[in-house]
Structure formats: C-alpha cells, structure tokens
C-alpha cells in the first residue's frame, strides 16, 4: 500500500493531516518560500497531540539551496533544537555553486541527526546529472529523496522517476512530490510506495481535508 507524507505549513494543517490519516508530516513554514524551518513551539504542540511521525524542514532562508557558512551554522543549531523537541526526522539539502550535491555539508547534518532519518528535498530537481546525484545522496546517508523527476508536476517527470527508482534499487526511498493530487495519485501508486502532497486546493497555506481523504481513498 502506498503511503502519503503531507507537507504542512502551520499547526492546524498538521493537526488535520494527522486526524485524516497522513502517514507522515513534513512540517515547515512559509509556503511562498517553498518551506522554511518551523518553530520549536509548533513541533512541541504537535508532538503532544498525536503520534504521527513529523519530519521538520531545516532551511533558514528561501531563494535556493546554496548557503553561507553562517547559515550552515544556523541550520546545525536548528536541527539540534528540533531534535531535542522530538522531531522524528529532518528535511534539507545543500547544493554547490554548480548545482551538485554538497557532500560535505549534507553528510555533516546527517551525522548531526544521529540516526534519525533525513530526506534530501527537491533541491535534487535542480541537479542536471541525477544519476550521479542519486549516488551522492545515498553516500551522504540520507534515507529518502523527495523529487518530481526534475519536472513539474511530477507526472511530467514520470519516466525519469521510474529510472531513478530503478537505479535506487531499494537503497533509498524515492518520495514523489510536485503537484501530487487525487487526480494523479492513482497512477503514481502503480510505481511508488511513498508520495508527497501539500493537499492545498485554494491557494492558501492550509491543507484541504477532503483532498487528503480523496488521495487516501485512491492509494489504499
């Protein structure tokens, strides 16, 4: 059975996602920036109210995936802070100036997580050579890659996603995201065991509970 991770940009959305049976929550803030690090207090509130796993975004600024040394230190502190608050995993990704996997920084943050699973987020879709990038991400110790196959929506990258899945050969989970909705989840579930959606249908930051229910019905 295919599982679903729901991207939630506020506490109420996460509570709704958990209530409606999300298998995992990616907690972040600021939808317009593509997701930034959430507040510790938000995570603590959620962990006190449900047992659904929560992976937190570690991304202090928007605009890309190349970070200064100062921002890198902030990300280390954010990870440790959210780990202490009960995060079940983390979501981040560092690229080099030429849009390749920054193995040094990524590995350092994975090691800081000390065994908690980490997802390399859609920075992966910025990389040209995805075959090389896949091996780099695996070498860094990530448990999951969130990707649309380099296209948007993910259905446009389906052929590439299948190739990535084949190359991964169960060494890492391929989490398919990017325009995933109830209208296409049925096709994606034929090939992938985990999909990712914000379940947003009205242009706000809030998930649509009915859309999540519809996706769950399609993939179960």
Give per-residue pLDDT as tens, 194-206: 999 999 999 899 9
Half-sphere exposure of 204 (CA within 13 A, CB side): 7
Q: Do residues 179 and 198 make contact, with C-beta atoms less than 8 angstroms apart?
A: no
- Identify the pLDDT of residue 69: 96
- Identify the pLDDT of residue 203: 86
In whole angstroms, give the CA distance from residue 181 to residue 186.
9
In whole angstroms, give the CA distance from residue 6 to residue 25.
5
In whole angstroms, give the CA distance from residue 160 to residue 163.
5
62-87 pLDDT per residue, tens: 989 999 999 999 999 999 999 999 99
In whole angstroms, give the CA distance from residue 186 to residue 203.
23
In whole angstroms, give the CA distance from residue 177 to residue 189.
12
Q: Which residue blocks in 85-176 are alpha helix, DSSP H?
A: 103-112, 130-140, 158-168
Can you name the CATH fold of 3-219?
Answer: TIM Barrel (3.20.20)
The confidence band for 88, taking pLDDT boundaries of 50, 70 and 90, is: very high
- Identify the pLDDT of residue 41: 98
């Amino acid at each position: 059975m295919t599982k679903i991770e729901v991207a939630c940009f506020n506490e109420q959305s996460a509570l709704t996602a958990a209530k409606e049976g999300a298998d995992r929550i990616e907690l972040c803030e600021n939808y317009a920036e593509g997701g930034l690090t959430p507040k510790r207090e938000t995570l603590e509130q959620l962990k006190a109210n449900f047992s659904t796993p929560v992976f937190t975004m570690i991304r202090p600024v928007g605009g890309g995936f190349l970070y200064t040394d100062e921002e890198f230190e902030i990300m280390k502190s954010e990870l440790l802070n959210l780990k202490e608050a009960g995060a079940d995993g983390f979501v981040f990704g560092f690229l080099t100036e030429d849009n390749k996997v920054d193995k040094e920084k990524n590995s350092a943050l994975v090691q800081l997580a000390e065994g908690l699973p980490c997802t390399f987020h859609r920075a992966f879709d910025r990389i040209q050579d995805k075959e090389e990038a896949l091996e780099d991400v695996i070498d860094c110790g990530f448990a999951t890659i969130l990707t649309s196959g380099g296209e948007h929506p993910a259905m446009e990258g389906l052929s590439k996603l299948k190739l990535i899945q084949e190359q991964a050969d169960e060494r890492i989970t391929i989490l398919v995201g990017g325009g995933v909705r109830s209208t296409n989840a049925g096709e994606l579930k034929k090939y992938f065991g985990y999909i990712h959606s914000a379940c947003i249908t009205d242009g706000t930051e809030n998930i649509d509970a009915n859309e999540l229910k519809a996706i769950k019905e399609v993939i179960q």
